[in-house]
Amino acid sequence: MILDLLFPNRCIHCNRIIDGHLIVCDICFEQIHFTHFDYSSENSLKEKCKLLFPIENAYALMQFEQENLSRKIIHQLKYRSREKTGKILADWVTENLDFKNKKPDLLVSVPLHPKKEKERGYNQLHLFTKTLSDFYGIPFEHHLLNRNHYSKAQALKDKKHRLETQNTFSLTKKISNQHILLIDDVFTTGNTLATIAWEVLKEGNNKVSILVMAVDE
């Protein structure tokens, strides 16, 4: 209680004091560019994925535009030790995403390299994925994939190096006849998710869908 008085929680955008379970105030929330995608229908993210790998469905919560608030939110989640932001983002997803009759069998988060996860202290997708799993009643797997190489953040790479993802990921066990929902924070070139998708699809009769916190249009 004393700490709350001395160090109150503040909106990450305008610095207004807000409740401890929030990350932005009501006014700034209205500035977030949500996609309002329909998971079961065609959308721009699905069209991007189709150019890279066979996909069933795709959903992005927000637009990841230059200098917009979604960029700041995800930056806080990944680089400012605000792991709880993952739960807040997942709660926003559950308010907007209806799987209808296309519910996946398993939620799989994109892994960090163990060295990077140790440096950061957490994987920014784990709490997000678990929250979705609890809400929708879909099992999750954080360790279906290995990230085989340590590298700097995608955001810090130039385009050429972002495309160099061969042999970056491998499956830790065989899977078959599963509809996998791959979960990541931001879709930029799509190369990371494409690399993972092909690892999943080359196994027996699997299907892949995508869910990301934000898509860079």
Write the pLDDT tens digit of every residue in 166-213: 568 999 999 999 999 999 999 999 999 999 999 999 988 999 999 999
Cα(44)–Cα(76) distance, integer angstroms: 26
For residues 144-170, give the mean pLDDT: 67
Cα(74)–Cα(82) distance, integer angstroms: 9
Cα(212)–Cα(191) distance, integer angstroms: 14
Give residue 3's pLDDT band: very low, low, confident or very high (50, 70, 90).
very low
pLDDT at 165 over 60: no
Domains delineated in the chain: 1-31 (no CATH), 33-215 (3.40.50)
Do 207 and 200 form a contact (C-beta atoms < 8 A)? no
Do 113 and 168 form a contact (C-beta atoms < 8 A)? no
Cα(28)–Cα(180) distance, integer angstroms: 34
For residues 68-91, give the mean pLDDT: 94
